[in-house]
């Protein structure tokens, strides 16, 4: 099942040799110098207890830990016996150290409406929200699902959960009704927090209507809390549905953050794997807090007056760690922007940068490539001189896009950090530090403090410089996932069972003689479409659920903008005709628009081995328009390949 699948732009990276030194003035002021990185990295591996004690002690604990790490492979407990509260550290602690009047969030809606929250104001809102949740019967350990647009209430609800020890599960607002109800049921959530509607590209996304539909099959849900975002008409079911603003208005102002065990569950976030069912990645309080606190401060060289903008939605891990928790733990000012990068036009992001004097921008390669396509003239119309540092995340960035980002958006004066990590890792694992390291475009760089990694063969042999293999992490780190919610066996198998005694990331990578790691992409049946993870099996299950489809196989095809796009091979049910537009609409309804196939190939047979296994390797070649390579003799009927290659996609 595990095989590397290099794509075209990754091939280009193999020939990339540029080394770009960080600008001298950036280096002169940087929080972490080259020497400092070397010293701290060495300490983090040689004396991890001392290293992590140092970092964790910068935050407030109501009870100190008695042991830094308890590792019973594959289960880690960090800061054992310690008690703390993440929301306290993100808010109260900052107010207590004099940042009460500093802006925590600058939120801008798609329509240009701006709302700001100081640390003191945000704390006040979170306290009220915490009381509102308690009033609705949510108690410590209960699960709460969030299905919201990127409005301040999303972050407030997350922090309120963290404050009372409820476990949040954020479901991206672009997911479908059935994706939502599956996730509510998997977590047995008691409460759903949604909005009347979200605004997207000038239109409305009817979240409450979806929530109502989902709630027909979610027996554990007791209440739905509804944020009024769009002001549109929604049906409110008496006894079940409550308006957010009314609940908060009726809630008490005072709330003391609950003292929670370091290993108290903080959140579940669903992500796609190589089976049809998404995994609920579980993160816990203390370790996740320490990991996001450390990486936000050091990777982004964060200082007092920065305006930090991570463009991710809170529905993804990037939004959790670098729009909400990491920046707040550092007392930073963060921009939250509700809309799409191209509405009403492709200048929208640059308008936000100019208007709020953003100093650090963290976005995805797919967005960068889309901007690049629109040309240099659009960003040139805006004043981007406030920017001092740029970040990239979510998928490999091709050197061309890296160079464009640095030159056109960064004006040649901003370092670019390419950060590799995952929903499971909780925080950044691989990057360069902007004032310490030269960049090699296309290569994420070096391990963060405490991260010991290796490139291995499938049977656990460590590979030397420049050999391609599997990316693994050799020891536990504080912000690692603790398990797959409700399925510890899957956790063991997926992450610690592929190669003995190491964490298997699911990515292919190689490391050069300087230690720089280049991540080339997934080695499992997971696609990365515009920086979003999608399981091929998930899309296949959706397709075969359609009455006109007998069988389906989904593969990725390299795409200039999205990184990868979805190609579906579909076998019609005897005598039926498959309507491509109907299938696309069906997948959108079943999973969400992000899983919509870009190309559909209607087939009369799929390439299978005699034992009935679909050979996706050949389908990938056909989808990419490449000649068939490899041994076709194990196929039941090799002539299928030629017929497929000649069938035009619809």
In the annotated binding site, the residues are 200-203, 318, 342, 394-396, 418-423, 507, 522, 530, 533, 544, 546, 549
Provide the CA 39 distance to its chain's centre, in angstroms.
30
Whether a cis peptide bond, with omega within 30° of 0, leads into 74 is: yes
Nearest to 394 by CA among 369, 354, 352, 366: 366
Considering only the C-alpha atoms of the chain, give the largest distance between any 2 of them, rounded to a whole number of Å.
72
**Closest CB 170 distance from ligand WT7, rounded Å:** 13
Residue whose CB is less far from ligand WT7, 251 or 393: 393
Catalogue the E-assigned strands of 319-431: 333-337, 360-363, 389-393, 416-419, 430-431
Residue whose CB is less far from ligand WT7, 192 or 473: 473
Following DSSP, what letter does each residue of 150-208 receive, concatenated? SSHHHHHHHHHHHHHT-EEEE--TTB-HHHHHHHHHHHT-SEEEEES-EEETTEEE-HH
Residue whose CB is less far from ligand WT7, 88 or 300: 300
Q: Is the dihedral of CA 485, 419, 275, 524 positive or negative?
A: negative
Tell me which H or E stretch contains 367.
helix 365-374
**Closest CB 520 distance from ligand WT7, rounded Å:** 8
Tell me which H or E stretch contains 396.
none
Residue whose CB is less far from ligand WT7, 181 or 398: 398
Rounded-to-integer distance, Cα 454 and Cα 472, Å: 5
Residue whose CB is less far from ligand WT7, 561 or 628: 561
**Closest CB 453 distance from ligand WT7, rounded Å:** 13
Residue whose CB is less far from ligand WT7, 83 or 370: 370
Binding site for ATP: residue ranges? 394-396, 418-423, 507, 522, 533
Rounded-to-integer distance, Cα 545 and Cα 526, Å: 20
Q: Cβ neighbours of residue 335 under 8 Å, at least 6 residues apart?
A: 105, 106, 107, 108, 307, 308, 309, 352, 356, 358
Q: Cβ neighbours of residue 509 under 8 Å, at least 6 residues apart?
A: 455, 468, 469, 470, 471, 517, 518, 519, 520
Residue whose CB is less far from ligand WT7, 214 or 526: 526
Q: Are 145 and 270 in contact (CB under 8 A)?
A: no
How, if at all, do strands 517-522 and 416-419 pair? unpaired
Rounded-to-integer distance, Cα 118 and Cα 280, Å: 33
**Closest CB 532 distance from ligand WT7, rounded Å:** 6
**Closest CB 188 distance from ligand WT7, rounded Å:** 23
Residue whose CB is less far from ligand WT7, 125 or 395: 395
**Closest CB 390 distance from ligand WT7, rounded Å:** 13
**Closest CB 269 distance from ligand WT7, rounded Å:** 9
Nearest to 597 by CA among 570, 566, 643: 566
Alpha-carbon distance values, 640 to 96, 115, 498 (Å): 69, 58, 32
Using Cβ positions, the residue closest to ligand WT7 within the complex turns out to be 423
Rounded-to-integer distance, Cα 68 and Cα 49, Å: 6
Binding site for CoA: residue ranges? 200-203, 318, 342, 530
Q: Cβ neighbours of residue 211 under 8 Å, at least 6 residues apart?
A: 147, 180, 192, 194, 224
**Closest CB 580 distance from ligand WT7, rounded Å:** 28
Rounded-to-integer distance, Cα 596 and Cα 593, Å: 5
The binding site for ligand WT7 (CB under 6 A) comprises: 271, 317-318, 393-396, 418-423, 444, 505-507, 519, 521-522, 528, 533
Residue whose CB is less far from ligand WT7, 257 or 444: 444
Alpha-carbon distance values, 139 to 46, 117, 218, 386 (Å): 41, 27, 19, 44
**Closest CB 394 distance from ligand WT7, rounded Å:** 4
Measured CA angle at 647 (ends 643, 650), to 5 deg = 155
Residue whose CB is less far from ligand WT7, 479 or 528: 528
Binding site for Mg(2+): residue ranges? 544, 546, 549
Residue whose CB is less far from ligand WT7, 48 or 506: 506
Rounded-to-integer distance, Cα 419 and Cα 214, Å: 35
**Closest CB 416 distance from ligand WT7, rounded Å:** 11
**Closest CB 74 distance from ligand WT7, rounded Å:** 18
């Amino acid at each position: 099942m595990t095989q590397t699948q290099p794509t075209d732009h990754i091939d280009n990276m193999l020939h990339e040799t540029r080394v770009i030194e960080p600008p001298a003035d950036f280096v002169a002021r940087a929080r972490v110098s080259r020497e400092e990185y070397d010293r701290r990295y060495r300490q983090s591996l040689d004396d991890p207890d001392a290293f992590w004690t140092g970092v964790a002690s910068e935050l407030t604990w109501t009870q100190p830990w008695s042991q830094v790490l308890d590792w019973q492979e594959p289960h880690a407990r960090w800061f054992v016996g310690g008690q703390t509260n993440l929301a306290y550290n993100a808010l109260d602690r900052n107010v207590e150290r004099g940042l009460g009047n500093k802006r925590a969030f600058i939120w801008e809606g798609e329509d240009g409406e701006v709302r700001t929250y100081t640390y003191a104001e945000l704390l006040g809102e979170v306290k009220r929200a915490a009381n509102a949740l308690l009033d609705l019967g949510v108690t410590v350990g209960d699960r709460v699902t969030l299905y919201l647009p990127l409005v301040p209430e999303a972050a407030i609800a997350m922090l309120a959960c963290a404050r009372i020890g409820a476990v949040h599960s954020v479901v991206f607002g672009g997911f479908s009704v059935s994706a939502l109800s599956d996730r509510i049921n998997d977590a047995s959530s008691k409460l759903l927090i949604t909005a009347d509607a979200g605004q997207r590209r000038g239109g409305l996304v009817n979240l409450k209507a979806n929530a109502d539909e989902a709630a027909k099959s979610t027996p554990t849900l007791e209440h739905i809390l509804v944020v009024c975002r769009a002001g549109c008409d929604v049906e409110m079911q008496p006894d079940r549905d409550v308006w957010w603003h009314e609940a908060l208005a009726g809630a008490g102002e005072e709330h003391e953050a609950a003292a929670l065990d370091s290993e108290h569950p903080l959140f579940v976030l669903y992500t796609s794997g190589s089976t049809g069912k998404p995994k609920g990645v579980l993160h816990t309080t203390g370790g996740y807090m320490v990991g996001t606190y450390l990486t936000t401060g050091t990777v982004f060289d964060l200082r007092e007056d920065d305006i930090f903008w991570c463009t991710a939605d809170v529905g993804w891990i990037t939004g959790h760690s670098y729009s909400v928790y990491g920046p707040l733990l550092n007392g930073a000012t963060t921009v939250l922007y509700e809309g799409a990068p191209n509405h009403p036009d492709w200048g929208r992001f640059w308008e936000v940068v100019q208007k709020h004097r953003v100093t650090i921008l963290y976005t995805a390669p797919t967005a960068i490539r889309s901007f690049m396509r629109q040309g240099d003239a659009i960003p040139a119309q805006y004043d981007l001189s406030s920017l001092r540092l740029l970040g990239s995340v979510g998928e490999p960035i091709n050197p061309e896009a890296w160079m464009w980002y640095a030159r056109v958006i960064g004006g040649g004066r901003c370092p670019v950090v390419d950060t590799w990590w995952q929903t499971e890792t909780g925080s950044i694992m691989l990057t360069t530090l902007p004032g310490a390291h030269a960049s090699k475009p296309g290569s994420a760089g070096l391990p963060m403090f405490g991260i010991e990694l290796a490139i291995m063969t499938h049977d656990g042999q460590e590979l030397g410089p420049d050999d391609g293999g599997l990316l693994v992490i050799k020891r536990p780190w504080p912000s690692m996932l603790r398990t797959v919610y409700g399925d510890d066996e899957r956790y063991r198998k997926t992450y610690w069972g592929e190669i003995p005694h190491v964490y298997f990331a699911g990515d292919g990578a190689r490391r050069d003689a300087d230690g720089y790691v280049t991540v080339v992409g997934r080695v499992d049946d997971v696609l990365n479409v515009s920086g979003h993870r999608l399981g091929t099996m998930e899309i296949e299950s959706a397709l075969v659920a359609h009455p006109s489809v007998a069988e389906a196989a989904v593969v990725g095809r390299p795409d200039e903008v999205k990184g990868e796009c979805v190609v579906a091979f579909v076998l019609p049910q005897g005598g039926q005709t498959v309507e491509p537009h109907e299938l696309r609409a069906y997948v959108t309804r079943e999973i969400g628009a992000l899983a919509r196939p870009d190309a559909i190939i209607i087939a009369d047979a799929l390439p299978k081995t005699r034992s009935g296994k679909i050979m996706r390797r050949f389908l990938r070649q056909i989808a990419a328009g490449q000649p068939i390579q490899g041994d076709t003799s194990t196929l039941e009927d090799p002539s299928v390949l030629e017929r497929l290659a000649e069938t035009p996609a619809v």
